[in-house]
Structure 1
Amino acid sequence: MPVATACPIALAASERYRLTKMAWGHKTEYRLRLRAQIVLHAARGLANARIAERVGVHVDTVRRWRGRFAEKRLPGLADRKRTGRPPSFTALQTAQVAALACQLPAETGVPLSRWSCPELAREAVERGIAAFLSASTVRRWLTRDALKPWQHRSWIFITDPGFRAKAERVLDLYARTWNGTRLGADEYVISADEKTSIQARCRCHPTLAPGQARAMRVNHTYGRGGALAYLAAYDVHRVRVFGRTEARTGIDPFMNLVTQVMGKEPYASAKRVFWIVDNGSSHRGKKAADRLAAAHPNAVMVHTPVHASWLNQVEIYFSVVQRKVVSPNDFPDLAQVGDRLRAFEDRYNATAQPFQWRFTTSALDDLLARLDRHTTDHHEESSAALAA
């Protein structure tokens, strides 16, 4: 029986360069490196048996890749597409699970507040969508469609009829404008609020400092040492914080903060000092504004819209206090809590920079327009559902 003749291999310069790089490259996959070496040896005129001996593979392997290169050149060295195992689930089953994940569990009769992957897999099996379904398979399907039914976000509707006008006044003050007129050099903007119920938790064992490959350790068990309120006034443009601690919040504690700030220069002799506050009980409504004006004629109270305390810049300072002073809470008594807060004020005022406030009146208009479109679409969908 005649012996099959090995396919002759002649390489172009570009092919030789790419094969050499493939054969000896450090990042080349082993299987591709082997195939490139086979072709290079074949181009030198070596027999298949000699190549197999040098490379360390079976002669049939040499014959296969030598023949594929002769037929298809460099693309012939890649793996052929394989059919693989047939899919275990149909596209309809995948879509049914995704549709189930997009429903509230309570609406489907399941006594859950939100779905998890194991619960979705169990529910799909109980509904007969699939005979068997694992949580990992459900997780893979949801990841592909960017669905996360175990997460939730809250929102609140705008109920203040004067939302835009009130928000615009606050944003204009941040931009040093009031009623369309630029603020003068002797006019100031103060953002004020209260941080309630800062506790003194005395840990039953001392807190351990961090070490190599070890985080700070705080004992879980603690004794309660009471709680206090922290009131702060933040000068938006001068970037300075004035704070005080009180046993509780209320009208008198807030007015104590106002007196503390307004008794100092440059606020005592300023033309106007605008106090931006939310609608908390300590400074709510026209009575609070009149009370402030009666005590300090050059003070003007400006309220944020209802449920919009996020427009008050002092809330950002409170978030800094929460991260850097209060957490983790380990204080033997309330006196140390107050001392720490006052010391932090001095430290903060020494290096503070203005907040990079980017929410302007144009951003407010965009937000309200999006909310209006969303509300309109929701009403239209509800009307259509009722008509059907």
Structure 2
Amino acid sequence: MAYGHKTEHRLRVRAQVVLHAARGRSNARIAQEMGLHLDTVRRWRGRFAEQGLPGLKDRQRCGRPPVFTPLQVAEVKALACRLPAESGVPLSRWSCPELAYEATQRGIAAFVSASTVRRWLADDALKPWQHRSWIFITDPDFRAKAQRVLALYARTWQGTPLDADEYVISADEKTSIQARCRCHPTLAPGQARAMRVNHTYGRGGALAYLAAFDVHRSKVSGHTEPRTGIDPFMNLVTQVMSLEPYKSAKRVFWIVDNGSSHRGQKAADRLTAAFPNAVMVHPPCTPPG
């Protein structure tokens, strides 16, 4: 304990006092050599003589009495679990300073700091200043449509497992991608030098990236188009379906959203007419915006 690297400093000092005493040194000499008060040396020698090693530890203390009652803490947490609009506060979400101010205004406590509120909320992992977006379900056939998509991800269609020559493709478009052309070539990295990319670039306009992801083979196929639409989407389908193993597959399921490029039964019929082994599957509809 006296020489351990992981021993707390206060325990190391107390242990060294005991070792000096075991060597027959007086209290005054120990205090002088260690830079301690004489009463400190007497205390730890006496505690060790009475209790042994446990006597070198700090005694249990009652500590300062709590300033806030459990009821006040619970009321602040309950306030954090309510929307600010319900309290007439013109905020979209709470922050710790605003919660502390509102608690004072409501008379929950005469004064409470933001750091105290933050510590209370951390005890229950409450973070009212964070939010997560979600979409309310409006499609009456949500369960059936979602079940079809999830079943395909699990390699099942209409209760029957997919064969080895059946594939699932998830396709989507990413619009408004800025095409940038560097004005000078990129320099490869070298010894003690990172790769250098020239800062100056020229704008090549906005492009759309159409991608098809093979769910079970983890393979992505795609290309860019000037814009989205029926023809660009069918170009993506042609790119994928003209290659093996999709060209000779028994069935290829295309999971697409309800965008204008592939919406409704007409899009499904168009896909099947072009490629008889392709099946279009739509997920549940989501509200616009």
TM-score normalised to the size of structure 2? 0.81
Question: 1:104 offset after TM fit, Å?
Answer: 0.8
CA RMSD of aligned residues (A): 3.6
Taking the TM superposition and a 5 Å limit, the aligned residue runs for 1:336-375 are none
Residue equivalent to 1:305: 284
Distance 1:246 1:297 in 2: 25
Aligned with 2:222: secondary structure? strand
Letter in 2 for 1:153: R
Residue equivalent to 1:135: 114
Are the structure 2 counterparts of residues 70 and 300 from structure 1 closer, same or farther at C-alpha, using a change threshold of 3 Å? same
Question: 1:80 offset after TM fit, Å?
Answer: 2.5
Is contact 1:210-1:217 (8 Å) kept? no
Taking the TM superposition and a 5 Å limit, the aligned residue runs for 1:177-256 are 177-200=156-179, 225-256=204-235
Distance 2:186 2:277 in 1: 48
Question: 1:150 offset after TM fit, Å?
Answer: 0.3
2:8 aligned residue (29, 32, 41): 29
Aligned with 1:157: secondary structure? coil
Are the structure 2 counterparts of residues 263 and 27 from structure 1 closer, same or farther at C-alpha, using a change threshold of 3 Å? closer
Are the structure 2 counterparts of residues 31 and 245 from structure 1 closer, same or farther at C-alpha, using a change threshold of 3 Å? closer
Distance 1:153 1:218 in 2: 37
Question: 1:298 offset after TM fit, Å?
Answer: 2.3
Residues paired across the two proteins, number: 286
Structure richer in helix, relative to its length: 1
2:240 aligned residue (256, 261, 264): 261
Letter in 2 for 1:111: P
Letter in 2 for 1:79: D
> Which stretches in structure 1 are left out of the alignment for 5+ residues?
1-21, 309-388
> Which stretches in structure 2 are left out of the alignment for 5+ residues?
none
2:257 aligned residue (278, 281, 292): 278
1:49 aligned residue (28, 31, 48): 28
Distance 1:134 1:207 in 2: 53
Residue equivalent to 1:114: 93
Distance 1:269 1:40 in 2: 85
Question: 1:116 offset after TM fit, Å?
Answer: 0.9
Distance 1:51 1:270 in 2: 89
Is contact 1:38-1:51 (8 Å) kept? yes
Is contact 1:102-1:149 (8 Å) kept? yes
TM-score normalised to the size of structure 1? 0.62
Is contact 2:173-2:211 (8 Å) kept? yes
Offset from partner CA, 1:16-41 (integer Å, 9 cap, x none) = xxxxxx12223323332222233234
Question: 1:115 offset after TM fit, Å?
Answer: 0.8
Taking the TM superposition and a 5 Å limit, the aligned residue runs for 1:302-341 are 302-307=281-286
Distance 1:222 1:111 in 2: 44
Identity of aligned residues (%): 80
Letter in 2 for 1:122: Y
2:60 aligned residue (71, 81, 86): 81
Aligned with 1:23: secondary structure? coil
Is contact 1:97-1:124 (8 Å) kept? yes
Question: 1:201 offset after TM fit, Å?
Answer: 5.5
Question: 1:65 offset after TM fit, Å?
Answer: 1.7
Aligned with 1:190: secondary structure? strand
Are the structure 2 counterparts of residues 108 and 232 from structure 1 closer, same or farther at C-alpha, using a change threshold of 3 Å? same
Distance 2:258 2:66 in 1: 59
Question: 1:108 offset after TM fit, Å?
Answer: 0.2
1:39 aligned residue (18, 38, 45): 18
Letter in 1 for 2:128: P
